[in-house]
Amino acid sequence: MLNWLGLWQKKAKIVFLGLDNAGKTTLLYMLKKGSAGQFDPTQQPCSHELKMGRIRFRTFDLGGHAQVRHTWREYYLTADGVVFLVDMSDPARFEESRKALADLLQAPELEGRPFLVLGNKIDKPDAADPHQALSGLQLSNRLVGKETDRVPQGVRPIEFFPCSVIRKQGYREGFQWLAKFL
């Protein structure tokens, strides 16, 4: 699975963040077990270990509701990269996602760390257009390009990939992009 994602022989701590109901737990279970199910909202941080081949990942499944976002810092302090999930089927929360993402991008502890932003749930009939999401998240002029494998000093690698975790679409390309910067 890690080879498929472009992470073979990479050692990194990646944190999965985003608002509640964005699909963080579903993505982690998809990566761990190859399938997903229905999950209750994450109430407390849960640690997950992904082991494939000789690679071990320690991941933390953190709740995304407003009351627990202040605890994210404890987990991202030693992160090598961030995967931030956005629910594309809930454009009414793009502003809330934008604020949470902006706080992370301004965190000094995450300076220079690559950010993979996954616009999840594109399979839903009410999913927003990717351009609408980029506008709502105010990311359009911050992206480095999907084909980029190097950025100038002082430029943070950040890219947006629309995806459907349930249908196993789009996130592979995102992880392959992220792997270039880890």
Is there a binding annotation on residue 64? yes
Is there a binding annotation on residue 26? yes
Is there a binding annotation on residue 165? yes
Is there a binding annotation on residue 59? no
Is there a binding annotation on residue 25? yes
Q: Interior CA angle at 76 toward 95 and 91, to 5°? A: 15
Is there a binding annotation on residue 3? no
Is there a binding annotation on residue 149? no
Q: How many angstroms separate the Cα of 4 from the Cα of each of 54, 89, 143, 156, 171?
A: 14, 27, 24, 25, 11
CA distance 33 to 164: 16
Is there a binding annotation on residue 124? no
Is there a binding annotation on residue 158? no
Is there a binding annotation on residue 129? no
Is there a binding annotation on residue 42? yes
Pairing between β-strand 46-52 and β-strand 55-61 as defined by DSSP bridges: antiparallel
Is there a binding annotation on residue 40? no
Is there a binding annotation on residue 63? no
| Feature table: binding site for GTP | 18-26, 64, 120-123, 165-166
